[in-house]
A and B are shown apart, each in its own frame.
Chain A
């Protein structure tokens, strides 16, 4: 059983944090991960920066551009993470776009993830059918959970398909938007959260996009198993650097 499964079985109100590797500074990666765990974060998405992040809003775009300027590469990220399992035990997920993975070589990439102790991948532009046809066997071989997204526009049939293909959790995009686009949830989200809860999916759901503070975190985790915060954390790092990560986490958990 993978760390993701254990974590999601054991706990509710899972707090998961996304950050872009190589931002604010090239070598902040390990410190950010360690501090997030120390302060009680349950799961971490490590963003592999990409030049053209289609599904991301301005905050994550800017952090990706800066990370690439700082010199972040796929190999360097693997290098930085090489000993991460000596100090960190919560689930770690790599999140990025498919092209850098394709260029590294999908199997080499997955093997490297296993060596390091990465538990899963989120690749928003790797579609379900292509994954199943070409890559599922490889992901399984290296013990990696692949996480799919659903949105308020995803049909019930499609959600059932995605649920069947998933073995970890489903990433529930909170609204029709790129990352970081909104603050606060309205009736639309309530209806959507309820609709998904009523579907009684086999995989737990973790809500992402638009979660920025303790209110939205509470709202999102009323029904769903957990929530992912990205842009709000990146903004915090931009303003405060990497020394006060505990303050951010306390602000969410309060």
Chain B
């Protein structure tokens, strides 16, 4: 079984490029160029250098002793929270801004939900002196004020998405419309492993540095490259794609994807796409998505803005369908408690997205000798307000 993208842009039956003709020239140009550009020695050199000196990579692989004792298994944390800007998102934006430059683009657009990808995009645009416009749902702008301020300070213009539910899905629609209106000078930096081919594959390759490092780091610490399990939370699926990438074809490695169940999978307020979704088309790709029987895309819900997306990247839809990955849905409450446990036991306050990944330690039993690597995709600074309200701190 192949879990990577095929030459037509599909992962099994998922993926493709379902885009209006207006986007065809840009997406097709990107499709033809992205692998060639990524293989150029000068690209690789610049990418590696920036990841090292600017982002602070490699991010540590940390053996979480007290957490391991509590759950009676060997837990390692991949510390993407220590990256510049506080999450894995910057791995992708560094790659895409270098790509945009080589494609001759001068104007950058992006969508953002919680604001993490928006901040990571605004950051690299400041770094490269490029114009940056970030679309963000009006509701998210109100609930993520610190990240809005960060983007502004970094020189980006934050444009409110006023249509639909005024959250991430609508911000993505607005970014796509902007790209239709500005086809010549603009590159769209998509923030997750979603969108039309080649985006899911390109984003996955930029994020795959996560699993590349896990391999040699684990070799140093455990004497073997492959853990027994890799675990990551899934919004659109970029941190998960990066965490899983180099283990997809290593049969002995169990892959666990953690979705946001919100208030419960059957509550009507959830973002557990693998359970609630059906094959359909969203933002240019065929994948699992939450929709009505009539094919109207529905509103997801999660306490974490970064997991609040009605679809899942096509690679993950394929991993789910083929049974290669185990999907677990975690509720708001379970995630919040797990965030508290990590804070108290290890002195690390995680992003609420990442807290979802840790919550499975309560319910999913591992053997004492199992090596479980959990991707700590981001830090919790941006979520302090939510933690404060939830725990009445």
Contacts and interface: CB of A to CB of B under 8 A. Distances in A.
B280 A103 contact: yes
Interface in B20-38: 20-22, 24-25
Interface of A: 50-58, 61-62, 65, 68, 73-75, 97-104, 124-127, 130, 148-151, 153-155, 158, 162, 173, 176-178, 181
Question: Quick one: which of A54, A155, A178 has the most chain B CB within 10 A?
Answer: A54
Contacts of A50: 295-296
Contacts of A103: 278, 280, 291, 293-295
Given A103-B295, A127-B19, 19 more contacts: A50-B296, A51-B296, A54-B177, A61-B163, A74-B294, A100-B294, A102-B280, A103-B293, A104-B294, A104-B295, A127-B21, A149-B22, A150-B21, A153-B22, A154-B21, A154-B25, A176-B180, A176-B182, A177-B181
A130 B283 CA distance: 16
Contacts of B177: 54-57, 178
Contacts of A148: 21
Contacts of A181: 181
A48 to B, nearest CB: 10
A178 B180 contact: yes
Contacts of B291: 99, 103
Question: Quick one: which of B169, B176, B293, B294 has the most chain A CB within 10 A?
Answer: B294
B100 to A, nearest CB: 18
B60 interface: no
A186 B281 CA distance: 35
Interface residues of B, number: 35
B280 A99 contact: yes
A54 B163 contact: no
Contact of B181 (A58, A124, A127, A176): A176
B188 to A, nearest CB: 12
Given A52-B282, A65-B163, A181-B181, A151 B296 contact: no
Interface string B290-322: 010111111000000000000000000000000
B173 interface: yes
Contacts of A68: 296
A51 B181 contact: no
B183 interface: yes
Interface in B146-183: 163-164, 169-170, 173, 176-177, 180-183
